[in-house]
Structure 1
Amino acid sequence: MNGLYDEFRIALHSVWNRRWLALAVAWGICVLGWLVVALIPNSYESKARISVDMQSILSDKVGIESRDRKRQMDRIQETLISTINLEKVVRATDLNLSVASDRELAGKVEVLRKKIEIKSDKDNIFEITANASAGNLSDAENAVLAREIVQKLIDIFIETNLAGDRVETDQTLKFLDEQLAKREKSLREAEQKRVQFETENLGLLPGVGSISQRLEASRAELNQIDAQLASASTSLASLNGQLAGTPPTIATPGVAGGGVSGQLAQAEAELASARARGWTDSHPDIIAMKNQIAALRRQVDTKSGGPSYGAPNPAYSSLQSMRAERQASVAALQARKNTIEGDLAQLVSKQSLEPAVVAEMAQINRDYDVLKAQYDKLLQDREQIKLRGEVETETDAVKIKVLDPPSSPRSPAAPNRPLLLAAVLFVGLGGGIGAAFAMGQVQTTYPTAGKLEKASGLPVIGSVSQVLTSSQRAIGQKKMRLFYSTAGALFGVFTLLMIVEFIQRGMVA
């Protein structure tokens, strides 16, 4: 412990012996450091907080969701410090005093962008901070400039959100109207092309009336007609057989049997009609009619002994009329069959053209569907944007409130000049002491007898302290007073600089 104390005393003695060197180095470092600190311009900072409230009651009903509002907040934060807005800020503040060309304006904009900071504390609260440190302006002017920059940004913010959304909506609607007009024209042309193609190739297209369907329908109809023709031919043959077995005339007795004869004629007519309907001789009604006719004939033969006269048979006439109808029906069915067979031959010959026409029609329909989908999407977007624009402009969807107006800085935000001045002083003192100590280490001296004995390896008998005369003491006292005065002047300059700094801050306030 005593050795450490001795070493400290030796080091302190070495520095004290070279105190003038330490003081000179301290003065040099302090003067140079204070000069550098003095050249650093003061930067004044102004802050403001604004709140952006967006209505969500009606907005949600028309498609303005929370993520849309968040995206709009991000867009506001990014576009607020755009080049166009910063040019407006430069033109509207004292920064424009040193702008003489577009190049200088661009430089001012880039510098200003680095000195503006926008933070979002919450989803709808923004904090705008701006620094001003123009070298051609005084501290007071820089403080005012910082506040003007923040105020101008707030004005641009309000102007952009109140008027910018309407302008953007109008531009978007105008663009969509132009695109809708183009799509409508293309859609109309596609419709006309499709109708024309369908008209020209109506029989070759799929759907109702296509070749395939017409072939199927014609074959089905031909099968049906064949069945009807077979049935009609069978019915006609049966009718011809009945007609061959029916006499064209019937014997009519005298007057006495006139009533029974009428009944007989009526019964025979009913029998012919029943056979025309397809009833056979084994049918119960046919058997009953035959028995009735036989009985009536016996009555006629019994009541009339005179000659009988021939009269037209009504059954024969009815069968002839029915045969004519059946013959006409068979002829019509045969003509219809011949026509369908001719149409089938033509359709089969055209069927080879159907695939190419169908493929071209499919391409036309695909083009039309694409145009129609684009048109419907643009129309839906136009109506939605129009409705959203009306909601945002007519219901004040965006409300901007200035929570904290731009602050008027009273002290520079940077640099912390008092701290820097004190730091330079301590660095100067430390540098001076360090220089004196280093010089003591470089020069070979022996401050104590023990050091000399250790270095030489020889015993030291004794040491003689410094002996000063009265004149030397007087000179030494003068040098000490000069040293103290010079050291005190260093602290005095430091104090003076601190006073000047606070006076300048007071002038800004």
Structure 2
Amino acid sequence: MNGLIEELRAALFTVWSRKWIALGVAWAICLVGWLAVAAIPNSYESKARIFVQLDDPLAEQIGIGVGDRRRDMDRVRQTLTSAINLEKVVRGTALGDGIASPKQMEAAVLALGKAVKVVSQQDNLFEITALSSDGSRSDAESARLSHDVVQKMIDIFHEENLAGGRGEMTDTLEFMNQQLTARQKQLEEAEQRRLVFEAKYPELSEGGAGLLQRMEAARMQLRGIDADIAAAQSSLAAINGQLAGTPASMPGVAAGGARGALAQASADLSAMRARGLTDSHPDVIAMKAQVAQLRGAAAAEGPGSGVPNPAYASLQSIRAEKQASLQALQARRAAAQADLARVDAQQSANPAVAAEAQRISRDYDVLKQQYDKLLQDREALRLRGQVETERSAVKFQVIDPPTTPRSPAAPNRPLLLFAVLVVGLGGGVAGAFGLGQLRKTFQTSARLEQALGLPVLGAISLVRTEATRRIEARRLKYFMAGSAALGAVFLLLLGIEFVQRQMVA
């Protein structure tokens, strides 16, 4: 611990013995540093925050959703700092003073692009920041310029979303009207060509496409009639099968024996078949065997009296109805085949005319579809433009208006001045200490003993006379005055800085 204290005392003695060198180095460093700090122009920053309202139920109902609005806002935010908009800012503020050539304007736009920022803090909140650091202007002018730049950016932001958007909508509607007029003229010409063609060829009044549709419809109708005929034939065959197994008469009240049993068995067999049982069903097989036995027994009994069978009469009426339906279907099939043959003959008679009819009809249909689509889109755009104009779906509100800054955002001149003072004092002390290390002197007897490796028997102290003391006291006063002057210059620079800030405010 004692050695550390001795080393510290030796270092302090080295610096103190060369205090004038330390003071000179400190003055030199401080003067150069303060001049450099003074040469740095003040930068004044102006900020503004804008709230954008995107919600509008009516706008969403007609298709102007929040997602569309947000995409529009992102587009405006990105294009707000474009070269065109920045050139508007330059021309609308004091930045445009003295610009006489495109090269100067390009340089001003590039510098402004680095000084302006548009940041999206939240979904609906934007912050616009402008930094002005022109050394050729006074602090008050720079502060006012930053305010003007932010205000001009807000104006452009508003124009891009309202006036610009409405102008784009007007241009779009005008373009749509021009397209509709052109399509309407083409549609009228196509309709006139179709009327002339139909007057010349009445049999092809529906056009080639109509012939193809009629042929396809006839083929489909013919296929449907064939399916209905097949179903009618199957139903008629089933009725004939039932009639074959149903007796025409039934025994009367007095009748009995094998003939009555045969009638009853035949009725049961018909009932089974009416329920859908096939001939391979065991009950049907058994009943058929029973009917065969009873038919032989009834033949052995001889003829007997009976009454007409109602089931047989009903099946006959059903068969007559099925036969009539089948004949009607066959007549329809013949008519459909004749119609198909006639249409085919019309198309085959003059294929060039049919192709021309098809082309005219196709051109007319395409133009009609395009016209209807353009008309629908034009009306949708018109409604959308009215909503945006009258309802003002995008609403702006300036939360924090741009204010003229009262103090520079950069540099922090008081801190820099103090840092230069600290560096100057540290540089002076380091310079004096370094110079002492270069000279081969020993400040204490212990250091001499340590360097030589020999014991030191004694030390001779410095004897100062009264005249020497007066000279040293006067020199100390000069040193203190020089040190105080350095601090006074520092305080003077601080005072000048705060006075300038008050002048800007």
Range of TM-score over shorter length: 0.5 to 0.7
Asked whether the equivalents of residues 30 and 424 of structure 1 are also in contact (C-alpha less than 8 Å), the reply is yes
**Partner residue, 2:111:** 111
**Partner residue, 2:168:** 168
**Partner residue, 1:127:** 127
Q: Does 1:440 pair with 2:445? A: no
C-alpha separation in 2, matches of 1:156 and 1:412: 26
Q: Does 1:458 pair with 2:418? A: no
Asked whether the equivalents of residues 90 and 96 of structure 1 are also in contact (C-alpha less than 8 Å), the reply is yes
Q: How does 1:405-444 map to 2 (within 5 A)?
A: 405-444=401-440
Whichever residue aligns with residue 490 of structure 1, its letter is L
Q: 2:500 aligns with which of 491, 500, 504?
A: 504
**Partner residue, 2:486:** 490
- Pair 388,486 (structure 1): closer, same or farther in 2 beyond 3 Å: same
C-alpha separation in 2, matches of 1:195 and 1:11: 116
C-alpha separation in 1, matches of 2:194 and 2:457: 129
Q: Does 1:478 pair with 2:465? A: no
C-alpha separation in 1, matches of 2:433 and 2:354: 104
C-alpha separation in 1, matches of 2:347 and 2:92: 85
**Partner residue, 1:10:** 10
How far the C-alpha of 1:197 sits from its partner, in A, is 10
Q: Report the 3-state secondary structure (helix = DSSP H, G, I; strand = E; otherwise coil) of the residue aligned with 1:52.
A: strand
How far the C-alpha of 1:407 sits from its partner, in A, is 1.1
C-alpha separation in 2, matches of 1:44 and 1:402: 21
C-alpha separation in 2, matches of 1:410 and 1:60: 44
C-alpha separation in 2, matches of 1:365 and 1:21: 106
Asked whether the equivalents of residues 204 and 211 of structure 1 are also in contact (C-alpha less than 8 Å), the reply is no
- Pair 389,416 (structure 1): closer, same or farther in 2 beyond 3 Å: same
Q: Report the 3-state secondary structure (helix = DSSP H, G, I; strand = E; otherwise coil) of the residue aligned with 1:98.
A: coil
Deviations 1:180-212 (A, max 9, x none): 455566677788899999999979877345599
Deviations 1:375-414 (A, max 9, x none): 5554443332221110010223233222222212111111
CA RMSD after TM alignment: 4.1
C-alpha separation in 1, matches of 2:386 and 2:217: 55
How far the C-alpha of 1:170 sits from its partner, in A, is 0.8
How far the C-alpha of 1:357 sits from its partner, in A, is 11
Asked whether the equivalents of residues 118 and 127 of structure 1 are also in contact (C-alpha less than 8 Å), the reply is yes
C-alpha separation in 2, matches of 1:359 and 1:24: 107
Whichever residue aligns with residue 155 of structure 2, its letter is D
- Pair 385,465 (structure 1): closer, same or farther in 2 beyond 3 Å: farther
Q: Report the 3-state secondary structure (helix = DSSP H, G, I; strand = E; otherwise coil) of the residue aligned with 1:207.
A: helix
**Partner residue, 2:238:** none
Asked whether the equivalents of residues 411 and 508 of structure 1 are also in contact (C-alpha less than 8 Å), the reply is yes
**Partner residue, 1:74:** 74
Deviations 1:45-97 (A, max 9, x none): 22222322245121111101110121122123223333333223222322222
Whichever residue aligns with residue 427 of structure 1, its letter is V
Q: How does 1:107-506 map to 2 (within 5 A)?
A: 107-181=107-181, 207-208=212-213, 210=215, 377-506=373-502
How far the C-alpha of 1:9 sits from its partner, in A, is 1.6
**Partner residue, 1:306:** none
Q: Report the 3-state secondary structure (helix = DSSP H, G, I; strand = E; otherwise coil) of the residue aligned with 2:470.
A: helix
How far the C-alpha of 1:416 sits from its partner, in A, is 0.9
Q: Does 1:39 pair with 2:39? A: yes
C-alpha separation in 1, matches of 2:355 and 2:449: 117
- Pair 91,458 (structure 1): closer, same or farther in 2 beyond 3 Å: same
- Pair 211,474 (structure 1): closer, same or farther in 2 beyond 3 Å: closer
**Partner residue, 2:319:** none
C-alpha separation in 1, matches of 2:176 and 2:160: 22
C-alpha separation in 2, matches of 1:33 and 1:395: 60
- Pair 97,121 (structure 1): closer, same or farther in 2 beyond 3 Å: same
Asked whether the equivalents of residues 208 and 355 of structure 2 are also in contact (C-alpha less than 8 Å), the reply is no
Asked whether the equivalents of residues 211 and 347 of structure 1 are also in contact (C-alpha less than 8 Å), the reply is no
**Partner residue, 1:85:** 85
C-alpha separation in 2, matches of 1:473 and 1:78: 76
Tell me which moved more, 480-489 or 147-156. 147-156
Asked whether the equivalents of residues 51 and 126 of structure 1 are also in contact (C-alpha less than 8 Å), the reply is yes
C-alpha separation in 2, matches of 1:445 and 1:197: 124
Tell me which moved more, 370-379 or 455-464. 370-379
With normalisation by structure 2, the TM-score equals: 0.66
How far the C-alpha of 1:463 sits from its partner, in A, is 1.4
Asked whether the equivalents of residues 42 and 414 of structure 1 are also in contact (C-alpha less than 8 Å), the reply is yes
C-alpha separation in 1, matches of 2:346 and 2:183: 41
Identical residues among aligned pairs (%): 53
Whichever residue aligns with residue 134 of structure 1, its letter is D
- Pair 363,111 (structure 1): closer, same or farther in 2 beyond 3 Å: farther
Asked whether the equivalents of residues 204 and 210 of structure 1 are also in contact (C-alpha less than 8 Å), the reply is no
With normalisation by structure 1, the TM-score equals: 0.65
- Pair 211,476 (structure 1): closer, same or farther in 2 beyond 3 Å: closer
Q: Structure 1: state its 5+ residue gaps.
A: 221-335
Asked whether the equivalents of residues 208 and 357 of structure 2 are also in contact (C-alpha less than 8 Å), the reply is no
- Pair 184,488 (structure 1): closer, same or farther in 2 beyond 3 Å: same
- Pair 174,113 (structure 1): closer, same or farther in 2 beyond 3 Å: same
C-alpha separation in 1, matches of 2:496 and 2:57: 59
Q: Report the 3-state secondary structure (helix = DSSP H, G, I; strand = E; otherwise coil) of the residue aligned with 2:407.
A: coil
C-alpha separation in 1, matches of 2:133 and 2:347: 93
Q: Bigger radius of gyration, 1 or 2?
A: 1
C-alpha separation in 1, matches of 2:372 and 2:67: 25
- Pair 58,461 (structure 1): closer, same or farther in 2 beyond 3 Å: same
C-alpha separation in 1, matches of 2:358 and 2:461: 121
Q: Structure 2: state its 5+ residue gaps.
A: 226-333
Asked whether the equivalents of residues 183 and 367 of structure 2 are also in contact (C-alpha less than 8 Å), the reply is yes
- Pair 178,348 (structure 1): closer, same or farther in 2 beyond 3 Å: closer
C-alpha separation in 2, matches of 1:348 and 1:55: 62
**Number of matched pairs:** 389
**Partner residue, 1:24:** 24
